[in-house]
Homo-oligomer: A and B are copies of this chain.
Amino acid sequence: MKPTVTIEYCPKCGWLMRAAWMAQELLTTFAEELEGVTLKPSAVGGSYIIYVNDEILMDRKVIGHFPEIKEVKQQIRDKVAPEKSLGHSDRK
């Protein structure tokens, strides 16, 4: 089974569209590598947490800002497809 990414967002903060955008970015970049991306409304205000399977990858409250899509892709790549090049989204 390929890994699943979950984006847990705060619906009352209006972060659904951001989460849906990010899901589409990930499903475009990792179409072959991911089982799917789940959008999950959080019961906790201010949450924006990205998981790979059940493990937290990035948590807005921990890092102090929204995860940047480029970093999200790099960190997911490192976990699920370490050989994959991300082109211009890649580390310099």
* Chain A interface (Cβ < 8 Å from any Cβ of B): 4, 6, 11, 16-17, 20, 23-24, 27-28, 31, 34-41
Cβ distance A29 to chain B, nearest Cβ, rounded Å: 12
CA distance A72 to B83 in the complex (A): 39
Which 6 A-B residue pairs are closest in the complex by CB-CB distance?
A: A36-B40, A38-B38, A36-B38, A11-B31, A20-B24, A37-B39
Are the CB atoms of B24 and A34 closer together than 8 Å?
no
Known: A38-B4, A38-B36. A11 touches B24 (CB 8 A): no
Identical chains in the assembly:
2
The interface residues of chain A, by DSSP majority, are classed as mixed
Collect the chain B residues with CB atoms within 8 Å of residue A6's CB: 36
